[in-house]
Structure 1
Amino acid sequence: MLFNRAKDRVFYQTLIDAAANLVEAMQLFRENVETLEEKEQFAERLKELEDKGDDYTHLIIRELNQTFVTPLDREDILQLAVKLDDVLDGVEACASRFVYFRVHQTTPYLIQFADILERSAKYLHEAFIALEKRDFSTIRKLSVEINLLENEGDRLMRESVGSLFENPTDPIELIKMKEIYEKLEGVTDTTEDLADVMESVVMKYA
Structure 2
Amino acid sequence: MLFNRSKDSLFYQTMVDAAGNIVEAMQLFRQNVETLEHKEEYAEKLKELESKGDEYTHMLLKELNQTFVTPLDGEDIFQLAVKLDDVLDGIEACASRFVYFHVDKTTPYLMQFAELLEKVAENLQEAFIALEKKDYATIRKISVEINLLENKGDKLMRESVGSLFEDPKDPYELIKMKEIYENLEKVTDTAEDLADVLESVVMKYA
TM-score w.r.t. length of structure 1: 0.99
Letter in 2 for 1:37: E
Segments of structure 2 that go 5 or more residues without pairing to the other structure are none
- Residue 110 of structure 1 is matched in structure 2 by 110
Segments of structure 1 that go 5 or more residues without pairing to the other structure are none
CA deviations over 1:14-62 (Å, ceiling 9, x no partner): 0000000000000000000000000000000000000000000000010
Letter in 1 for 2:10: V
CA deviations over 1:109-130 (Å, ceiling 9, x no partner): 0000001100000000000000
- Residue 97 of structure 2 is matched in structure 1 by 97
Measure, in 2, the Cα distance between the counterparts of 1:2 and 1:65.
Answer: 14
Percent same amino acid among aligned pairs?
Answer: 78
Is 1:33–2:33 an aligned residue pair?
Answer: yes
What displacement does 1:146 show?
Answer: 0.5
Aligned length: 206
CA deviations over 1:163-204 (Å, ceiling 9, x no partner): 000000000000000000000000000000000000000001
Measure, in 2, the Cα distance between the counterparts of 1:139 and 1:2.
Answer: 28
- Indicate if the aligned counterparts of 2:2 and 2:68 stay in contact, CA closer than 8 A: no
What displacement does 1:151 show?
Answer: 0.2
TM-score w.r.t. length of structure 2: 0.99
- Residue 85 of structure 1 is matched in structure 2 by 85
Letter in 1 for 2:186: G
Is 1:141–2:120 an aligned residue pair?
Answer: no
> Structure 2 matches for 1:186-201, cutoff 5 A?
186-201=186-201
Runs of 4+ in 1 over 6 A off after TM superposition: none
- Residue 46 of structure 1 is matched in structure 2 by 46
Letter in 1 for 2:178: K
Measure, in 1, the Cα distance between the counterparts of 2:161 and 2:117.
Answer: 18
Measure, in 1, the Cα distance between the counterparts of 2:19 and 2:170.
Answer: 39
Is 1:10–2:13 an aligned residue pair?
Answer: no
SS of alignment partner, residue 142 of structure 1 = helix
Measure, in 2, the Cα distance between the counterparts of 1:190 and 1:169.
Answer: 32
Letter in 2 for 1:31: Q
What displacement does 1:2 show?
Answer: 3.4
- Residue 60 of structure 1 is matched in structure 2 by 60
Measure, in 2, the Cα distance between the counterparts of 1:151 and 1:2.
Answer: 43
The more displaced of 109-118 and 1-10 is 1-10
